[in-house]
Amino acid sequence: MTIAIMGAMPEEIEPILKRVGSYETVVYAQNRYFTCKFGTHQLVIAYSKIGKVFSTLTAATLIEKFGAEVLLFSGVAGGINPELGIGDLIVATQLCQHDLDITAFGHPYGYVPEGAVFIESDRRLRECAFDVALEMGMTLKEGIIATGDQFVASPEKKAWIGKTFHADALEMEGASVAVVCDALEVPFLVLRAISDTADMDAGFDFESFLENSAKRSADFIMNMVETL
């Protein structure tokens, strides 16, 4: 099977590249894609660059150009649910775009005609994630992840996103990847480790905990790949 593993930032895929050891590099659409064999699987690994547009391009490329049959996203997120502390892992049950707003025409936040507010991630991959968490003796939470083209560092904005979408965590790429995978019928999973709690300390916390949290997510994703 061809498995795509993507992150948004170099820090989010570096631990994965280290773990696979050697790989080939293919440049496409001004980005680098790293390919290798891993057990019986073919892996294609990439970081998209930050935000919904770049992550859409990368997810579509991983599927259409590299033939990905499963897509796993690994990275960090800002926590909304107070039960999520820095370093904790969350797997998305559903994802939504918190910055999509045509409410002027009577539509709900996050909705455009012929779209859906929430996109659900693959149930079987989520079950696999919980099996791996059990094996690793780690706590894994599941919940709604809200995506938008903003680094959120405000208690008010965070509270609004939490209330409007019942979101547990927020980031800048998950929902766009979900839209692509859903449309192209490729099972996907979004896993994130908390790097900050999207409040006034978010910028500082993010810089302090990015590397460690990104590695926690990447290690978990690779343990999942080993069981697929």
Give whichever of 132 and 177 is closer to ligand 4EH, judged by the CB atom. 177
Query: Looking at the DSSP assignment, which residues form a beta bridge with residue 193?
Result: 76, 89
Q: Which residues contact 204 (CB under 8 A, 6 or more apart)?
A: none
Terminal Cα distance for the chain, rounded: 9
Could you tell me the smallest distance in angstroms from the CB atom of residue 101 to ligand 4EH? 17
Instruction: Pick one of 59, 145, 196, 223: the residue that binds ligand 4EH (CB under 6 A).
Output: 196
Binding track over 63-92 against ligand 4EH, x by CB under 6 A: -------------xxx--------------
The SS3 assignment for 175 reads helix
- Give me the catalytic one of 12, 88, 173, 199: 12
The answer to whether the CB of 72 falls within 8 A of the CB of 188 is yes
Total binding residues toward ligand 4EH, as defined by CB under 6 A: 18
Residue 59 interacting with ligand 4EH (CB under 6 A): no
Instruction: Pick one of 23, 28, 111, 151: the residue that binds ligand 4EH (CB under 6 A).
Output: 151
Choices 58-66, 89-97, 101-109, 168-176; region in contact with ligand 4EH by CB under 6 A: 168-176
User: In angstroms, rounded to a whole number, what is the distance separating the alpha carbons of residues 20 and 3?
Assistant: 13
User: In angstroms, rounded to a whole number, what is the distance separating the alpha carbons of residues 45 and 195?
Assistant: 22
Active site residue 88: no
- Give me the catalytic one of 88, 168, 173, 196: 196
Indicate the DSSP class of residue 2: E
Q: CA 129, 131, 136, 140: dihedral to nearest 10 degrees? A: 50
The SS3 assignment for 27 reads strand
Give whichever of 58 and 223 is closer to ligand 4EH, judged by the CB atom. 58
The SS3 assignment for 178 reads helix
Active site residue 168: no
Residue nearest ligand 4EH by beta-carbon distance: 78
Active site residues: 12, 196
List interacting residues with ligand 4EH (CB under 6 A): 8-9, 50, 76-78, 151-153, 170-173, 195-196, 198, 202, 206
